[in-house]
Amino acid sequence: MPPPPAYDGRDEGGTYDVVVIGAGTAGLAAAKAAHAEGARVAVVDRGPLGTFCARLGCMPSKALLQSATTLARTRNAGELGVELDARPRLSWPAVRARKDAIVRDFVAEVVRDTKTSTSFTLLRGAAKFVDGTSLTVDGRRVVARRWIVATGSIPVRPEIAGLADVAALTLVSDDVLELDAVPESVAVVGCGAVGVELGQLLARAGARVHLLLGHDDRVAGLPRGPLQESLVAALSRELTVHRAVKIERLRRDGADEAAVTVVLANGETLRVERLLLAAGRRPDVDALDLAAAGVQVHEGVPVHDEHLRTTNPAVFVAGDAAGAPGILHAATIEGRTAGRNATRKDLERPDLAPTLRVVFCDPIVATVGQDPAEATSACRPVCVVRRPWSQQGKARIMGETDGMAQLVVDRETRRVLGCQLVGPEADLLVHLASYAIHFGATVDDLLALHHYHPTLAEMFPSLAKQAVAELDGAECLQGEIAATGAMQ
Ligand SMILES: Cc1cc2nc3c(=O)[nH]c(=O)nc-3n(C[C@H](O)[C@H](O)[C@H](O)COP(=O)(O)OP(=O)(O)OC[C@H]3O[C@@H](n4cnc5c(N)ncnc54)[C@H](O)[C@@H]3O)c2cc1C
């Protein structure tokens, strides 16, 4: 197959082997993978270019959180004997300006790569299917043999009585990242990654923040239990956590109607300046007219099989447009897989195991593989061991002792099945556990491997030692590193 033409600045329709809808992370990965298989590829995007991750997702949120974390560490500096002349605080305009500059650079790099890529032709405009073999891009007709829908996601609007009346006082994550001034008070509806990260950010920036946990009390993805308790205890120092909340209705009130009253089912009321809606995201596919292409949609998600193929075998789906898990590395993997599957007969599955998740609140929550409930429902006899960071040498030296670490171990094979971390550098440490799971490491392997002292990584032989003692019903004498705190 001849190489496709490079983007020459002119928007045109045309005929292609594969057309990808969406120049986000999933779409770009799909286009490059399909091109590598020899296909003539076009990517359609309505703009703005630059990927959601760089513009309004991972990167801007983490840039803002970095400032907030630095503030928290500085506020704790007295504990380490560092004297500060004044109580440190965030200058929101400076925090915003730093974030904006970082985002500008990231977006410029992606836009440049997207516009100059020799892997595909870029067609600018909104896509809408005509039938199973063609679509229009702002009126121009485009024909292809295979399609990949990679249009990303939009926030879910929860069904709460009175929400329409207070619409002007609600925020979604995009709004928080672009705030000119920090509201005086905020209630957060939806306490997954986005709600907890941005709720804590606003609290550190000066807002009074209420986290409204749902009926199951899940927070940052953690179910009820000791790890969740350790997180809630840490968060509660900076914001108010309300458990098992059911919102009865929302009311707009106050002299100038500039406040939202949240009426809870237990009769309690909260009066806040803004409501942050973080109740999840859903595929952004409404404008595509997928029905015209014969693609069924169930509860907002294009129906697809394990090969990312929809109910029209010529149409694949990837990234947030495919529904869960809605995280970046999954978008890349799914995009690559969809790109290959659109060009090959032997179809692949996206390899997303072991499931890795990080919530960049403070303390960080990072999990990989199976949690105790998942392992039990998979009928594995498991041993679960956990340990607080307050008993770990390096964490004590750092003065970062919030949270716990937990290991889920298969009783029969002694292999690590999962790891759940709430605590310092958990985003980095979880990758060690991920490697252990990937390579089928046992708790005995974790004890045999070398760990430098004193490091946070020593938590793993400590947990392994606990697990071995429990599995063997005897004290484990292996893996002693130091008498002080690191291993007890
Ligand atoms: C606040 C926030 C923070 C996050 N932080 C993290 C994080 O730290 N780590 C992590 O792993 N994940 C994070 N995520 C999730 C992550 O950003 C997404 O999973 C990822 O960016 C999705 O990529 P995508 O390619 O599926 O979609 P996108 O990058 O959104 O791409 C979709 C593209 O499709 C185009 N499009 C849509 N409809 C049409 C149409 N009809 N015609 C033409 N073009 C169209 C859009 O213009 C867009 O360019 C975060 C999400 C949020 C909301």
| Residue 52: per-residue pLDDT | 98
Q: With CA atoms as reference, report the closest residue to 275 among 307, 237, 245.
A: 245
Residue 370 neighbours by CB under 8 Å, 6+ apart: 354, 378, 380, 408, 417, 418
Task: Name the residue of 45, 53, 289, 364 whose CB sits within 8 Å of the most ligand 1 atoms, as the mutation to test its pocket.
Answer: 53
What the block records as the tokens of 291 is 């029905």
Number of Cβ atoms within 10 Å of the Cβ of 69: 18
C-beta of 126 in contact with ligand 1 (< 6 A) = yes
Distance 121 CA to ligand 1 centre (A): 21
DSSP 441: -
Q: State the number of CA atoms in the 13 A half-sphere of 162 facing the CB.
A: 15
In this structure, how many other beta carbons lie within 10 angstroms of the beta carbon of residue 402? 20
What is the position in ligand 1's atom list of the atom closest to the CA of 321?
26
> Which pLDDT belongs to residue 377?
86
Burial string for 257-267 (b: 16+ CB within 10 Å, else e) reads eebbbbbbeee
Helix, strand, coil share of the chain (percent; to 5): 35, 25, 40
The whole-angstrom separation of Cα 243 and Cα 424 is: 25
Output the pLDDT for position 380.
Answer: 82
* 60 CB within 6 A, ligand 1: no
Residues 6+ apart with CB under 8 A from 304: 310, 311, 316, 317, 322
Alpha-carbon gap, residue 318 to 442, rounded angstroms: 34
Tens of each residue's pLDDT in the chain, 488 residues: 444 444 343 445 689 999 999 999 999 999 999 999 999 999 999 999 999 999 999 999 999 999 999 999 999 999 999 999 999 999 999 999 999 999 999 999 999 999 999 999 999 999 999 999 999 998 899 999 999 999 999 999 999 999 999 999 999 999 999 999 999 999 999 999 999 999 999 999 999 999 999 999 999 999 999 999 999 999 999 999 999 999 999 999 866 678 999 999 999 999 999 999 999 999 999 999 999 999 999 999 999 999 999 999 999 999 999 999 999 999 999 999 999 999 999 999 999 999 999 999 999 999 999 999 998 888 889 999 999 999 999 999 999 999 999 999 999 999 999 999 999 999 999 999 999 999 999 999 999 999 999 999 999 999 999 999 999 987 766 655 554 544 44
What's the half-sphere exposure (Cβ side, CA atoms, 13 Å) at 236?
11
Does 221 contact ligand 1 (Cβ within 6 A)? no
What pLDDT does 244 receive? 94
Q: Whose CA is nearest to atom 7 of ligand 1?
A: 58
Q: For ligand 1, is residue 443 a contact (CB within 6 Å)?
A: no
Whether the CB of 69 sits within 6 Å of ligand 1: no
CA angle 114, 115, 117 (to 5 degrees): 65
Ligand 1 mean position to 183 CA, how many Å?
26
- 473 phi, psi to nearest 5 deg: 65, 30
Nearest CA to ligand 1 atom 44: 45
- pTM, two decimals, is 0.94
Ligand 1 atom nearest 127 alpha carbon: 42
Decide: 316 and 148 in contact? Cβ < 8 Å: yes
Distance 328 CA to ligand 1 centre (A): 8
- pLDDT attached to residue 4: 40
Q: Is 53 in the pocket of ligand 1 (CB under 6 A)?
A: yes
Note the pLDDT of residue 477.
62
Q: Which of 6, 44, 227, 297 is nearest to 147 (CA)?
A: 44
Ligand 1 atom nearest to 287, measured from its CA = 41
Residue nearest to atom 15 of ligand 1 (CA): 327
Q: Which atom of ligand 1 is nearest the CA belonging to 177? A: 1
